[in-house]
Chain A
Amino acid sequence: MIPFILILASSLFVKGIINKTRARLAGRTGYRFFQPLLTVGVLLGKGEVYSTSSTVLTRVAPAVYLATAFGAALLLPLGTFPAAVAFDGDFILFAYLLALGKLALVLTALESGSSFQGMGSAREVLFSMLVEPCFFLLVGTLAMVTGYGSFSAIFAEFDNMSVNWLMLSLILGYGFLNLALVENGRVPVDDTRTHLELTMVHEAMVLDLSGVDLAFVQVAGWLKLSVWGMLAVNALIPARMTGWLSVLWFLLAMAVYGAVVGLIESLMARNRMTRNATYLVTVSAIGLLGFAVAYVLMTSGL
């Protein structure tokens, strides 16, 4: 249960760190650190406005989205701390739970009958399709290196404290970081701050949600940010860190993760929409590269 609690805890502050990093680099003070929480607090007190074209699907789907994010968080370990739920092939369930959440959100978006939502969801499914191989390749690499088939066993075993494995671990970490950027709709694939509906991806999908529904989607967004961060951190911190030391490492790494995401958002421009496909295929190619590197390392017996 410890990794799950850690994900919940870190989800409360990662977004704040991203915002603060961005503001500092732009020379602003930025809004309060816990402002995202306050915003959600305000949303929780509001009522929902439903579109006249919507059905009960729109009322249920945001809850499904949040529930799947919780479910995915349950499946992740931290180093030697096992996940709350672990079995052989749990990463397949992880991927498809997140896909279920996406399905729910996309259908909600299409139900509003607005072209903005349609545009956003078309882009969202296209982009997540293009990085889907990347996730499985990265996990496949880890499975090959460790010889296990579940997140908990893999990350308890994966030790990067040698030059060769450190190299692999950096590739994996980079791959997971890119997945985190894509799956959470961050720069350079998507921009959460954009004000123009035509350039939105994820934000366009939730344009018509309000009140508690919107709060659910935002909380699910924090969770997903932490979930993907957790994967990157797991690939990077050595399994030799045991006990509470790894918890400390984790919190530190999550702070760095937030800062890195903020840094990327400040220093990079968002891709042009038509260039995103190329970018995402490159991300999948990184997964393949990681696999090739691991294969060479394994067979050469270094």
Chain B
Amino acid sequence: MSGIFPFLALSAILVFAGPGTRGKGIVAAVAIAFGAVIAAVAGVTAIVFPETSSGAQAWMPGLDALGGVFALAVAVAGVACSVYAVGYMPEHAKGKSAAQVGLHFAALVALFYSMLGVVCAADTYGFLFWWELMTLSSFVLVMFDAQRKEVLHAATGYLVLMHIGFFLLLGAFAVSSGQEGGSSFFSGSMTVGVFLLFLAGFGLKAGIFPLHMWLPVAHPAAPSHVSALMSGVMIKMGIYGIVRAALALTQEALFAMGLLVFVLGAVTAVFGIARAAVQTDLKRLLAYSSVENIGIICIGIGVGMLGRAMESDFIAYAGFGGALLHVLGHANYKTMLFLGAGSVVAAAHHRDMNRLGGLLRRMPMTGILFLAATCAICTVPGLIGFTSEFVLFDGLFGSITRGEIMAVAVAGIVALALVGGLTLMTFTKAYGITFLGNPRGCAARDAREVNAVMLVAQALPLAGIVTGPLLYPYLVLENADALFGARYYAQPVIGTMAAVELIMGGIVLLTGGLLYLKAWLNRRAGVAVRRRPTWGCAFTVPSARMQYTASSYNRELQTMLGERGAERQVRELAEEEIFPKGHAFSTEDRDSTAKAVTRWVSHRLRRWTARLALFQTGKTNHYVLHALLLLVLVLLLSLCGVL
């Protein structure tokens, strides 16, 4: 990958030199599209022909089958996001200097190539280099609107957390290379301690509970194509690391660690989607939904590890296979959802669903594309979302019928079923409140369809969503041996998916037939189809403000979850005001878990640093004493021959 640096430098110069925001965007998009084509071709080749190292695979040296899966995901999401930026940025970047815009697009190119670098890296140094570049470039991208205080806050928080993660990874690599006596990169037998370090480090990037705190803050703050790229594929780099570490783990530790990853995954999934269901901010909702999807992927990885621990090829195959399919699927539909949310923000200028509504009639293309992605994430059969869930469910039910890991399988089934139900709730809300009904505010009423470039970009991931059910199982399951060393007959899943496609084709045909029947019946009866206002229960002047809002939609769930999950109402009322002035009313969403974790860590940190402050007395004579003591210590140590 070192041959890439001149290219990166050249594209950065071209981006800065490009004329206007649109020009810079086009340069960046071309640079990314070029890499995406190479990554997609090399990725697919690496998966299908893992042994050969010539031809297309030589384009990206170091890429193996597992990296190929992630390279493919990066390629699809990268193209969509960079094309979207061409249409999105000219409006969004008004008032920004050319240098700022140039920096943004250069960082976009750097983020894309650093993700490819991460999946190609074959040594520790290269991996950490690309990993750090990925963090820095995404940091630059997040803080594009740094003039807003919350964006600056989110971006710095993100940077700090990612560096804590980086040091955990650094420690893990240092320990593992020390143990082996050489620089081994995810190979051989990894011990439990090293794996836990990796899990924490990669978990911070992926957003595993309780390390998810940066996701719901950074995603709404970033421009939409950035949040799409980060949520669609960048957090998957953490998953990539966890899978690599899981495959390198020693046989003895596999069972316990598999159980740990599984439990973390189940908790993350249920927690993430329960939080997503009570959000009123569209992008925050999507961010929490990403947390949930990371959880589902971790359920798969955990099951796969348990399968490896028990040397059951079927369970390992279903677990890892389901996880990797979910990585590919989620990269497609979450990118699409975030880009759709970006279009909503671009058209209505805010993300609060309580003030949106009726956008489908004002932005029909965005609405239809968002609906397609909603269907995919709600696991509508025949789309990619169903495929990965099917493989996971099939694996869990299969292990029940085989009488293995019963308790885990039941827990996984319950978690996935709950997540499925809550996903339906979350995304009927996200779609129904935002796009259907009547506009709840002026901004939504005056919304206009976004430009064609953005629409094309939103439509790009649709290719993966539609062809995915047959293509992705072929890539992931047919080549499971090269990917994660589990051999099983892939034919059933692909055959089943083909059958599901046929059944769904039948459903579509039947729907068409029923619509035809309706038209025929209407014609025969000679009745006209009329349009009237919605029936308002004899109330004659219903207003759009009286519709069900996002907050009312999840009211009952919030009551069930209790105060902890609830959206707190903040009301500022002075107690004894004789002449009351205007009062502010706002609601605020609090993630008490994330807050508790952050507070606990910072509290600990402060206590330890307070102890260190013992030495900082502010008196010169004490400092001289410290220096003297150090000199004596060095003298003693060298006399003893330690130094």
Interface residues of A, Cβ cutoff 8 Å to B: 44-55, 57, 59-60, 63-64, 66-68, 70-71, 74, 85, 87-89, 92-93, 95-97, 99-100, 102-103, 106-107, 109-119, 121-123, 125-126, 128-130, 132-133, 135-137, 139-140, 143-144, 146-149, 197, 207-208, 211-213, 216, 273-274, 277, 284, 288, 291, 295, 298
How many angstroms from the CA of A70 to the CA of B531 in the assembled complex? 29
- Taking the closest CB of chain A, its distance from the CB of B260, in whole angstroms, is 23
Cross-chain contact A129 with B421 (CB below 8 angstroms): yes
By a CB distance below 8 angstroms, the chain B residues around A49 are 529-532
In the complex, A284→B413 CA distance in Å? 12
* A contact residues around B528 at 8 Å (CB): 47
Tell me, rounded to whole Å, the shortest Cβ–Cβ distance linking B634 to chain A.
Answer: 65
Do A148 and B506 touch across chains, with their CB atoms under 8 A apart? no
User: Which residues in chain B, 572-612, are within 8 Å of chain A measured between CB atoms?
Assistant: none
Size category of the B interface is 35 or more
B642 within 8 A of A: no
Report the separation of the CA atoms of residues A112 and B534 in the bound assembly, to the nearest whole angstrom.
6
What distance in Å separates the Cβ of A139 from its nearest Cβ neighbour in chain B?
8
Complex: chain A residue closest to B413, CB-CB: A136
Interface residues of chain B: helix, strand, loop or mixed (majority): helix
Is there an interface contact between A114 and B535, defined as CB atoms closer than 8 Å? yes
Report B-chain residues with C-beta under 8 Å of the C-beta of A212: 517-518, 521-522
Complex Cα distance A143/B406, Å?
Answer: 12
Contact B390 A92 (CB under 8 A): yes
User: Does A140 contact B410, Cβ atoms closer than 8 Å?
Assistant: yes
Query: 7 A-B Cβ contacts within 8 A?
Result: A46-B525, A51-B534, A67-B510, A103-B424, A114-B535, A140-B397, A273-B556
CB of A201, distance to nearest CB on chain B (Å): 11
Q: Which 9 pairs across A and B sit closest by C-beta, in order of nearness?
A: A118-B548, A129-B421, A47-B527, A110-B432, A113-B437, A63-B514, A132-B421, A111-B436, A67-B510
Check A113 against B438 for contact (C-beta < 8 Å).
yes
Chain A residue nearest in CB terms to B367: A55
Q: A96-B380, A119-B548 are in contact. Are A149 and B401 (CB under 8 A)?
A: yes
Residue of B nearest to A108 (CB): B436
Q: Which residues of B contact A106 (CB under 8 A)?
A: 424, 428, 432
Q: Give the nearest-CB partner of B506 in chain A.
A: A71
Q: Mark B341-353, 1 if CB is under 8 A from A, else 0.
A: 0000000000000
Q: Which residues of A contact B432 (CB under 8 A)?
A: 106-107, 109-111, 118, 121
A109–chain B nearest beta-carbon distance, Å: 8
A49-B531, A88-B394, A89-B394 given; A60·B521 CB < 8 A = no
Asked if A96 contacts B514 (CB within 8 A), the reply is: no
Taking the nearest CB of chain A, how far is it from the CB of B300, in angstroms? 15
Cα of A88 to Cα of B418 in the assembled complex, Å? 22
Across the interface, do B436 and A110 meet the contact criterion of CB distance under 8 Å?
yes
Q: B residues engaging A (CB < 8 A)? A: 357-358, 360-361, 364, 371, 375, 378-381, 386, 389-390, 393-394, 396-398, 400-401, 403, 406, 409-410, 413-414, 416-418, 420-422, 424-425, 428-429, 431-433, 436-438, 492, 495-496, 499-500, 503, 506-508, 510-511, 514-515, 517-518, 521-522, 525, 527-537, 542, 544, 546-548, 552-557, 559-560
| Distance of A52 Cα from B431 Cα, bound (Å) | 19
Q: Is the interface of A mostly helix, strand, loop or mixed?
A: helix
Q: Which residue of B lies closest to A134 (CB)?
A: B417
Chain A residues near B429 (CB, 8 Å)? Answer: 122
Q: Are A143 and B400 closer than 8 Å at their CB atoms?
A: yes
Kindly report which residue of chain A lies nearest to residue B415, judged by CB atoms.
Answer: A133
| A148 and B381 form a contact (CB under 8 A) | no
Pick the contact of A89: B397, B414, B532 (CB < 8 A).
Answer: B397
The answer to whether B511 touches A64 (Cβ under 8 A) is yes
Residue from A53, A133, A211 within 8 A of B437 (CB atoms)? A53
Complex Cα–Cα for A133 and B411 (A): 10
Contacts of A85 in B (CB 8 A): 499, 503
Complex CA–CA separation, A197 to B508 (angstroms): 33
The answer to whether B428 and A110 touch across the interface, beta carbons within 8 angstroms, is: yes
- Whether B413 contacts A115 by the Cβ 8 Å rule is no
Q: A55-B361, A119-B548, A277-B560 are in contact. Are A130 and B421 (CB under 8 A)?
A: yes
Q: State in angstroms the CA–CA spacing of A111 and B555 once bound together.
A: 19
Q: In whole angstroms, how far apart are the Cα atoms of A149 and B425 in the complex?
A: 28
Distance between Cα atoms of A273 and B559 in the complex (Å): 12
Closest A residue, CB atoms, query B400: A144
Chain B residues with CB below 8 A from A74, complex form: 503
Residues of B within 8 A of A147 (CB): 401
Which of chain A's residues have a CB closer than 8 A to the CB of B560? 277
Given contact pairs A57-B360, A212-B522, A129 touches B422 in the complex (Cβ within 8 A) = yes
> Which A residues are CB-close (under 8 A) to B400?
140, 143-144
In this complex, what residue of A is CB-closest to B520?
A212
Contact check, B527 vs A122: say whether CB atoms are below 8 A apart: no
Beta-carbon contact of B436 and A99 below 8 Å: no
Which of B360, B409, B417, B542 has its CB near the most chain A CB atoms (within 10 A)?
Answer: B417
A residues less than 8 Å from B360 (CB atoms): 55, 57, 111
The verdict on A48 contacting B496 (CB below 8 Å), with A93-B503, A112-B437, A114-B534 known, is no
